[in-house]
Amino acid sequence: MLVVSVGATQNIGPMRTLNPSPLAIPAVDRIWIDAARELGFAVVRTPNAYASSDGAGGIGIGTHEILDADDAVAQLIFHELCHALVEGPSRRQLPDWGLDNSGGGDVVREYACLRLQAHLAGPCGLRELMAPTTEYRSYHDRLPADVLASDGDPATGLAREAAARAEASSWGAIIARALSATAASLQSAEMHAEAAGKHPVGFALGPAAETCGGCAWFYVGGRGPAVARCRQAQGGDGVARRTRAELGACDRWEAPVDCRTCGACCREAYHAVSVSMRDPVVWKQPKLVVRHGPRFEILRDGDRCAALGSRGNEHYTCAIYDDRPQACRDFAAGGRHCLDARRRVGLSR
């Protein structure tokens, strides 16, 4: 039977396709194992728990077989240390910091731990990477920029006390040093990847004169605070890998999409454009709207929208652009569906 601590709050569930955490590299593991040791804790890898503390100076972190792909030793140790700060010295001699994950009584203390994590990791740009990968992630992602500002959440006061506790002891300096070293190690890993002919997101290197920031598939978003990401490097969980605008391009680099020379979404990439009977296009362009039982769709000309410019013309225009249906208005150039459409017609890899 697996033991799962409140400190870890990791669930055992069905297998998922997840992006590997950039933190899951030996150099970063070592940083946090050493930081824990400085604070008086010995970290051991165990097949019997995701993360736990034994109350006697031991922190157990799951082995590779136990952890999910998006978990990292660094993130789990950081989480446990933040729990120790929230609970204070009097509870460090209790297994799992005296917390009980069998009910909901300690949820506020879990929330306080997440606020403390965001507060400590933010200055190094690691707020998102060091965040939990559990069901509590949604709470973490809703946190404001200033996680210690009074907002009526009972967890805020606990987190503020824990932050003061860290500042007044060696804990604050040791954790800050580990966070700074982690950020530096990640940057070094990027440089090593490039030296080996690989882009940090995992693809081969691309045009030397281009950067991620100039690519059609670069965007700023994701769970929690928006960060730079690569839409081409998107995993099965729908989360795109982080990148930086100034990084050199990978071999998936493409210039920003020009709809007039693409037209993929209006061609064979999709078989129909459904419209609501209340959509203005129904009465503004009745000749281009067909009804299939209870459904309305835009008329097709073979494998493409009938409103698209003539065949043989590589400059694609929409004859009803000002009256186009809501589905077309909502379709974002450079978005996830745009990339899917371009792949379907062979314009993108």
User: SS3 for 151?
Assistant: coil
Other C-beta atoms within 10 Å of 102: how many? 7
Q: What is the pLDDT of residues 41-75, one digit of tens each?
A: 999 999 888 899 999 999 999 998 888 878 899 99
Does residue 145 surpass a pLDDT of 80? yes
pLDDT recorded at residue 238 = 59
pLDDT category, 170, cuts 50, 70, 90?
Answer: very high
Find the range with the poorest average confidence among 6-20, 165-179, 189-203, 303-317: 6-20
What would the mean pLDDT of 137-142 be, rounded to a whole number? 88
Domain limits of the chain?
Answer: 26-175, 207-256, 259-344
Element (H, E) at 291: strand 289-292
Does residue 95 surpass a pLDDT of 80? yes
> CA-to-CA distance for 318 and 306, rounded, in angstroms?
9
Does residue 195 surpass a pLDDT of 80? no
Q: Tell me the CA distances in angstroms from 170 to 35, 38, 96, 120, 174, one per residue in order.
A: 11, 9, 22, 14, 6
Does residue 138 surpass a pLDDT of 80? yes
Residue with the larger pLDDT of the pair 139 and 224:
139
pLDDT recorded at residue 196 = 64
What would the mean pLDDT of 14-29 be, rounded to a whole number? 70
Is pTM beyond 0.75? Reply is no
CA 9: distance to chain centroid? Answer: 18
What would the mean pLDDT of 329-337 be, rounded to a whole number? 93
What would the mean pLDDT of 194-207 be, rounded to a whole number? 80
| Joined tokens for residue 206 | 């691309």
What would the mean pLDDT of 236-258 be, rounded to a whole number? 85
pLDDT category, 197, cuts 50, 70, 90?
Answer: confident
Contact 82, 116 (CB under 8 A): yes
Does residue 235 surpass a pLDDT of 60? no
Does residue 305 surpass a pLDDT of 90? yes
Q: What is the mean pLDDT of the chain?
A: 86
Share of the chain above pLDDT 90, in %: 60
Does residue 6 surpass a pLDDT of 60? no
Residue with the larger pLDDT of the pair 249 and 191:
249
